[in-house]
Amino acid sequence: MNRQDHSSAAVQTLRWREGRLEMIDQRVLPARFEYLPFTSAAEVAEGIRSMVVRGAPAIGCAAAYGVALESVRLRGATREAFAVGLQRGFDVLAASRPTAVNLFWALARMRAVWDANQHRAVGDIVDCLLAQAHEISADDVRINRAMGAYGAALLADGARVLTHCNAGALATAGHGTALGVIRSAVQAGKRISVIADETRPFLQGARLTAWEMVQEKIPVTLITDNMAGHLMSRGEIDAVVVGTDRVAANGDVANKIGTYMVAVLAQRHNIPFYVACPLSTIDLAVPDGAAIPIEERAAEEVTGFRDCQWAAKGVQVRNPAFDVTPAELVTALITEKGVVTRPNQTRIAGLFAD
Ligand code: MRU
């Protein structure tokens, strides 16, 4: 039985409405589903920093719109004031979050459009930048569907698939990367069930992945992060599919904190560990995982949640938001250009060969 695809209709993470950007406020899901408006690069940067929008591809799309919004704000400015103001917009967006390379990839694409149109009237540059932001978002959905098709072929009918964090429609412009693979497999008629790690401390799994799957009636079971090993040891997980924030040139994978733990467990139990990875998430400038900048977030995310604080006052806290899974633990990268098994430097370089 083929299921209908509700993903892009139901979850439009970012949308352009009446000259401004609107983004789903992912901090308050699933209790509330609401859009917040954004009208400048600084506002979008704050939205990224505070996690209104999160997930590597969605952050990239938001940053592109942030540049476009700033250019719209500066439409009436002189060429000089436009250049100064827009540069400031690029800078504030680049400083919002450090790990997901899609942010910098999207800013580079916006910069290239600006550079290529420098000689034109300010109004024309604005139009080109906005068109580019729309294109980045539309491309993202197309890329996710292509990855979904490749990845779906890797999952057997009846597979029980563990995922970590949220690499769904909410983390992209639509369809998702890891959840895109699951969606595509379900749309192809496979009976897939999802085991969602809750994903401490920000709870992207419990709040966002579980919500997306429940919305679409894809069977989902929520576990706390420390239960994955137990389920694997009992033969209750057939595959792991996760997303990524940055893949180094040698195939090391940065993703949400806790992913490395899952990869080690998967190897121990001979369970395939797949990473859904658009080419925009591969950073050839970074030789290996040790060189990937890892964001450290506020201690309050670990000592409690929202208004409820449970840790002893005065305790020291570490809160790295991402970790690195060595390439040797990755069964395959699923990209829009196909599946790269046992990724290494040569195979990754091959993706960019033509
Ligand atoms: O801190 P977040 O929520 O932005 O982290 C998101 C992740 O780690 C995702 O797994 C990753 O960005 C891939 S999203 C398609």
**All residues at 6 or more sequence positions from 89 whose CB lies less than 8 Å from its CB, including other chains:** 40, 41, 42, 66, 67, 70, 71
169 shares its domain with 136: no
Contact 212, 24 (CB under 8 A): no
**CA 172 to ligand 1: nearest atom:** 15
> Where does a domain end: 144, 167, 195?
144
> Where does a domain end: 128, 144, 160?
144
CA of 57 relative to ligand 1 center, distance in Å:
8
53 shares its domain with 160: no
CA of 38 relative to ligand 1 center, distance in Å:
21
CA of 94 relative to ligand 1 center, distance in Å:
17
Question: Any catalytic annotation for residue 238?
Answer: no
Could you tell which of 48, 54, 147, 280 is best to mutate to test the pocket of ligand 1, judged by most ligand atoms within 8 Å of the CB? Answer: 54
The tally of domains found in the chain comes to 2
Dist CA 345 CA 187 (whole Å): 33
CA of 26 relative to ligand 1 center, distance in Å:
12
* Strands (E) located in 148-271: 160-163, 193-197, 220-223, 239-242, 246-248, 253-256
Residue 57 Cα distances to 48, 146, 273, 277, 336, angstroms: 12, 15, 21, 10, 13
Token pair, residue 136, equals: 């980045």
Catalytic residue, chosen from 245, 252, 283, 323, is: 245
pLDDT value for 5: 44
157 shares its domain with 93: no
119 shares its domain with 268: no
Phi and psi at 57, nearest 5°, equal: -65, -35
**All residues at 6 or more sequence positions from 294 whose CB lies less than 8 Å from its CB, including other chains:** 98, 99, 254, 320, 321, 322, 323, 324
Residues with CB under 6 A from ligand 1: 54-57, 100, 165, 167, 171-172, 177, 204, 243-245, 255-256, 321
293 shares its domain with 151: yes
CA of 342 relative to ligand 1 center, distance in Å:
22
Could you tell which of 240, 245, 282, 322 is best to mutate to test the pocket of ligand 1, judged by most ligand atoms within 8 Å of the CB? Answer: 245
Q: What is the CATH number of the domain that holds 116?
A: 1.20.120.420
CA of 254 relative to ligand 1 center, distance in Å:
10
Tell me the pLDDT of the chain (354 aa) as tens digits: 334 444 445 689 999 999 999 999 999 999 999 999 999 999 999 999 999 999 999 999 999 999 999 999 999 999 999 999 999 999 999 999 999 999 999 999 999 999 999 999 999 999 999 999 999 999 999 999 999 999 999 999 999 999 999 999 999 999 999 999 999 999 999 999 999 999 999 999 999 999 999 999 999 999 999 999 999 999 999 999 999 999 999 999 999 999 999 999 999 999 999 999 999 999 999 999 999 999 999 999 999 998 899 999 999 999 999 999 999 999 999 999 999 999 999 999 999 997
158 shares its domain with 122: no
169 shares its domain with 299: yes
152 shares its domain with 215: yes
29 shares its domain with 90: yes
Token pair, residue 274, equals: 């797949």
119 shares its domain with 175: no
The domain in which residue 24 lies consists of 2-144
Residue nearest to atom 8 of ligand 1 (CA): 256
pLDDT value for 2: 38
**All residues at 6 or more sequence positions from 47 whose CB lies less than 8 Å from its CB, including other chains:** 23, 36, 38, 53, 62
pLDDT value for 7: 43
Could you tell which of 26, 137, 204 is best to mutate to test the pocket of ligand 1, judged by most ligand atoms within 8 Å of the CB? Answer: 204
**All residues at 6 or more sequence positions from 43 whose CB lies less than 8 Å from its CB, including other chains:** 66, 69
Dist CA 163 CA 169 (whole Å): 14
Dist CA 239 CA 256 (whole Å): 18
9 shares its domain with 123: yes
> Where does a domain end: 82, 114, 144?
144
Q: What number of residues does the chain have?
A: 354
Q: What is the CATH number of the domain that holds 246?
A: 3.40.50.10470
Beta-bridge partners for 253 = 247, 325
121 shares its domain with 185: no
**CA 255 to ligand 1: nearest atom:** 8
**CA 56 to ligand 1: nearest atom:** 12
- For the entire predicted model, the pTM comes to 0.96
Dist CA 212 CA 255 (whole Å): 20
- To the nearest 10°, the Cα dihedral for 27, 282, 260, 232? 90
| Helix (H) or strand (E) segment spanning residue 62 | helix 56-73
